[in-house]
């Protein structure tokens, strides 16, 4: 769910995605109205208060611009609800992204390591319109859902990745490519570890050494900055990928007996 850096290829004939097939035009209108009136961010109840991530030489925070957590949420929503971007994500981007994600997920499912199966309960963290969720369902992982600050039914429900709206030990598999948007990177990771069941798998696509866009809240300077935040998981592998401007895939498994 992110913009590609290269110039996009000519648009394929776009049947609308499932998420907006019902009333696409009306929902775009509503979104436009919603976003242009600067919506209040969704209320967030933190069971555990947010505290700043301890400084890491591997992560450069870009906190300066935000006066408050609500200010940060509003800034993130500004991109998520941008009507022009949303239209591109829902049309020109849709099949290209879903196909690429589907290939990546099919490869993970066919991997011998038991990373993902059709029976996995899967979560996509920061999924925007849910292209990655659609891809999981397409390859056969039917129990897949996404969260984002703005919902995109039926694929994506409302949820803040700093306070996932799920109980402990819920998912077998979690995917995310929005780590750079985390204002509290350790909390982002702790929430993934909390909602993964023991033995569950996390797959993250990140950019290392590359600056994100103006909506990024952090820059990852070294992949260890991410891996070091996973306190209850083992690294399965780290590999180079070419995934919509992101260059590194990190796969971890939550320890089967974690404290």
Ligand X SMILES: *[C@@H]1O[C@H](CO)[C@@H](O)[C@H](O)[C@H]1NC(C)=O
| Nearest residue (CB) to ligand X, 74 versus 121 | 74
| Nearest residue (CB) to ligand X, 173 versus 223 | 173
Q: What is the DSSP string of 26-72?
A: HHHHHHHHHHHT-PPPPP---SS---PPPPBTTEEE--TT-SSHHHH
State the Cα–Cα distance between residues 50 and 76, nearest whole angstrom: 17
Give the nearest distance from C-beta 9 to ligand X in angstroms.
Answer: 27
Give the nearest distance from C-beta 8 to ligand X in angstroms.
Answer: 21
Residue indicated by tokens 């803040």: 160
The answer to whether the beta carbons of residues 208 and 238 sit under 8 Å apart is no
Residue indicated by tokens 């033995």: 199
- List of residues contacting ligand X (CB under 6 A): 74-75, 78, 118, 140, 168, 194
Q: Which of 85, 165, 80, 96 is nearest to 135 (CA)?
A: 96
| Nearest residue (CB) to ligand X, 10 versus 49 | 49
| Nearest residue (CB) to ligand X, 127 versus 135 | 135
Give the nearest distance from C-beta 169 to ligand X in angstroms.
Answer: 8
Is residue 144 exposed (0-12), middle (13-18) or buried (19+ Cβ within 10 Å)? buried
Residue in the shown chain whose Cβ atom is closest to ligand X? 140
Give the nearest distance from C-beta 113 to ligand X in angstroms.
Answer: 15
State the Cα–Cα distance between residues 33 and 15, nearest whole angstrom: 24
Give the nearest distance from C-beta 103 to ligand X in angstroms.
Answer: 14
| Nearest residue (CB) to ligand X, 10 versus 43 | 43
């Amino acid at each position: 769910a992110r913009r590609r850096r290269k110039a996009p290829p000519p648009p394929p004939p776009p049947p609308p995605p499932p998420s907006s097939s019902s009333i696409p035009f009306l929902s775009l209108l509503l979104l436009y109205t919603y976003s242009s009136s600067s919506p209040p961010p969704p209320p967030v109840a933190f069971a555990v208060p947010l505290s700043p991530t301890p400084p890491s030489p591997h992560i450069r925070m870009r906190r300066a611009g935000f006066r408050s957590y609500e200010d940060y949420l509003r800034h993130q929503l500004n991109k998520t609800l941008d009507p022009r971007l949303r239209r591109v994500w829902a049309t020109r981007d849709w099949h290209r992204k879903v196909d690429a994600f589907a290939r990546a997920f099919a490869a993970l499912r066919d991997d011998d390591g038991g990373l993902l199966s059709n029976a996995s309960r899967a979560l996509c963290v920061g999924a925007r319109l849910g292209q990655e969720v659609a891809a999981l369902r397409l390859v056969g992982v039917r129990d897949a859902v996404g969260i984002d600050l703005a919902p995109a039914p039926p694929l994506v429900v409302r949820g803040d990745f700093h306070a996932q709206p799920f109980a402990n030990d819920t998912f077998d598999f979690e995917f995310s490519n929005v780590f750079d948007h985390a204002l509290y990177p350790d909390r982002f990771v702790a929430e993934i570890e909390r909602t993964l069941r023991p033995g569950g798998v996390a797959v993250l696509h990140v950019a290392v050494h590359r600056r994100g866009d103006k909506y990024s809240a952090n820059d990852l300077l070294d992949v260890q900055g991410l891996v070091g935040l996973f306190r209850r998981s083992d690294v399965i592998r780290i590999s180079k990928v070419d995934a919509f401007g992101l260059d590194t895939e990190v796969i971890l498994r939550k320890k089967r007996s974690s404290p």
